[in-house]
Structure 1
């Protein structure tokens, strides 16, 4: 974790120096002598994780100015107000206006450190929750096709149990997304979800990675280490690309599923584990059993509940919803772009060998390079954007550039609730140009 960045605002240099010495144990401390300098520090030196500000700075301004500046530009950054003994009312006002806490002078060293650590922990939790929400949004199961609706039903039923689940489907269909959905909806949701890419770990390392090892059990084992089965105790272990696991680890996985226990490499004593195993593969495991490459008894243990994810080409009716979802997820400035009808038709017609993962990457790339706010066929790479019209039965939606600009301007205006100044700011134009864009019409034949 990076050291915290803390801003101290006080017109008293002795107070600033004292806070810098104390808070320096928690991270990097920047000083400012008044609200104006504090605003400059925030603008020039980037975001801060925590702000301490004096409440009353007679020759410089009010600490509430600092509070308002932080709330406006760094809403997740906690602000701790420092007040003189006789100014508690002002401190309480600051709490009502969003301050995290207040401290009175003369300073209590223990109180300063205690409140600062609590504030930084809150900041960390806010950022962690935002990151988790993004992951959930990114992994949202989007679509209403019959095949996907059946998957929804099976996930809902299986989530309530702890039996192993095998998820099959082509690369990029969202197998890990479904595994996470199973975990989130299960009684184990408060436990850990541990994903393992079995195809990316060599056979020699897989045993230690999954089951742990004792000190000195092999060259380089300088200390004992818990494996991922133990890390996932009480939660879910997701074994992606299970078909790539070798015979030795297959035998150990079978024992873990049958007995509910594992043995660390170099130890003889078993360790009990309470783990739900969800496995996934893009291979035909029955064919691998027939070839002698996968244990039949392990397949039976893994395949208690079977979820199959259809490829994107078999649920084309979901593509438009997925495009809109990914466009909103990757939109710049919070405004999702308009996708022209021809572009959407060609996206829907494409077979997507990389499935949902490929679609997201293509939409994200198009947004990164597009400056108009309207995605057309030219924004997508071959062969997607160059698919012949006759293959997709286009209705001939080929609006002019002026009309596309008008549509996007109207879209942005609707997004900001009709606020023309805000719409102009997001579009990077003045209000006069915005009016011209909104008034643009298709030229007459």
Structure 2
């Protein structure tokens, strides 16, 4: 659509209602799937990766919706600017209409006055013409006697000449007045024609500006409808964005639960396998520092390295750090780095254990604890005491056969060597 001056009306964004309905349905289905996957005991790394991929899709939808909201805000600003420009044009036209009404009123007053003058001129002309006719008629009928009598009655020659001149002046005056009235009447008639033409031109101009105002009013109405649609779409998009962000948080929480469930399942299986084999040879290492704090406050010795297979059905997924005094439990276990406790409980063959989430898919695991000093959800700092070493056969140590800490590092769902990476450095 274009306005009266040919300006293009700004178009609004494509409707997002079908998209909102479609994606809302997808999110509901996805939430149900996630809930099932978290509850299911057979959660795998593939399930977790699939959930993360779906979360990325949700986050993409959030970004797309943010872009849509930004575009709608721009459309809204453009529409408001356009409406303001239309209002200014309509105000200018209102001033033109007011001025034209003033001119038309003045013209009509002039026409009325001119018509009155014309009517009076016609009356004066008729009266003068009638008087002149009577004088001419009288003089014609009594010319011989009246004119001669007046002259003969003169006192002298000078008086006679004066009277003769008087008669001539009367006749000349009558002729002049008649001509004057006729000319005046014609002038007034011409003026009336001119005034009527000017009045007609003003009326035409009035019709034109009123038509222009009507056209602008239609454009303004359309633009206001467009603005209302933009506001409605922005409201829908904002509500949808809120739903997406809520879904993203739910997905994140579900993924964390899936990872924890998968980690626990694997850890329990690996702990059971590790408990069946010998502790291996002892290796005394000097700790020179790394990203993590050494998890045993009194250091201790590494009795089983990452990847050991001696007597096990699967490679060792962490390191075992033996108590500084053989079979003496109770040494302090500290958090390797800042993080949030995601598990602090008894876990079967792993005994009492603690899981700490350090962010970015990085977890540390502390198994076979005599005592747990933290709770699930606690924020811990690097070097903070979180429990006491266990490991001797007991109800809290699982299947362990000696005082030690099993320390594991898990990155993106997979165990990595705590000593062979940047996390711990002890030589």
TM-score, normalised relative to structure 1: 0.21
Which structure has the highest helix share of the two? 2
Structure with greater contact order relative to length (CA < 8 Å, sep ≥ 6): 2
TM-score, normalised relative to structure 2: 0.21
Greater Rg over alpha carbons, structure: 2
